[in-house]
Amino acid sequence: MMTWPESNITSANVAINTLTTGLRFPEGPAFAPDGSLWAVELKGESLVRFQKGQVARFQVGGQPNGIAIDAQCLIWFCDAGQRAIRRFDPQTNRTDTIVTSLDNQPFDKPNDLAFDAIGNLVFTCPGESRQEPTGYVCVLTTSGDVRKITDGKYFPNGLAFTADGRELIIAETYRHRLWKGRWDAQTAQWTDAHIWATVDGPQGPGGPDGMAFGEDGNLYVAVYGTGKIHVINHGGQVIRYLNLPGQNPTNCAFDPTGRFSLVVTEAEKGELLSCSIAVQGSHLFNPTVFITPINQ
């Protein structure tokens, strides 16, 4: 675990464009292969699409949270309310429930998710683990099996794979720290996990949430309750802050086309923001995934 003296961390006011506002607790920004930008409204029971300057809402019910998009432009999302991993097809407006339980027990409020290079889907289940280390993380393999890859965490939350897919970072929000471990896509195992970085956070609710890797090799982390994106280098050192207009950033994603640079969902003001920085995102995984929904 690395630390970085506060006096060495620069704080930058970047140019910010508000793409849309009035969102009810936005989360999970992600770009589809067709260039559309997607997010969720956790408290609005909706998926949100931003495309060509227009916003469209798709009611899916529950409490949608993180988003991952596959090569077929299918929108996979965690649903904390329905305790499920679900999938939305923008072509048909159909929502399927993919999986709902582990060892015959309902998932504990799935939060965020990410595909690895071959289509395994990793997702966090924090439940109510703010005061007790009862949070865990699962993998849904390409064969449709579900199992834990780690447990005993205080609110596991955002996650991201490194550009080469060989390492996985997971945020432990209520301990203000990030874990890093080696990821084996063939066996879907996370090994040698260790505390890699710590970030400043509020005394109350909040801490590191969603995140995205830039092509510069740095990790950009939305830290809820701080009004900042924390930029962390490969050694786990916080090297820079990006200031935001609201206090509660929930997640971020790089636009692969470069149009919107770094997109941030911000919950205090209910906004979808575009932060102009001279960095593009690292390689994005968009695997083709064939798993039969349980509600077919």
- The 3-class secondary structure across 35-97, one letter per residue, is CCEEEEECCCCEEEEEECCEEEEEECCCCEEEEEECCCCCEEEEECCCCEEEEEECCCCEEEE
**What pLDDT shows up at residue 180?**
98
Coil, strand or helix at 119:
coil
Q: Are 113 and 126 in contact (CB under 8 A)?
A: no
pLDDT tens digits, one per residue of 61-89? 999 999 999 999 999 999 999 999 999 99
* CA 101 from centre of chain: 21
**What pLDDT shows up at residue 279?**
85
pLDDT tens digits, one per residue of 14-73? 899 999 999 999 999 999 999 999 999 999 999 999 999 999 999 999 999 999 999 999
Whether residue 283 has pLDDT greater than 80: no
Q: Are 294 and 99 in contact (CB under 8 A)?
A: yes
- Mean pLDDT for the chain? 93
pLDDT tens digits, one per residue of 190-229? 999 999 999 988 877 889 999 999 999 999 999 999 999 9
Token pair in block for residue 263: 């997109």
**What pLDDT shows up at residue 12?**
73
pLDDT tens digits, one per residue of 160-193? 999 999 999 999 999 999 999 999 999 999 999 9
pLDDT tens digits, one per residue of 129-164? 999 999 999 999 999 999 999 999 999 999 999 999
Beta bridge partners of 170: 159, 179
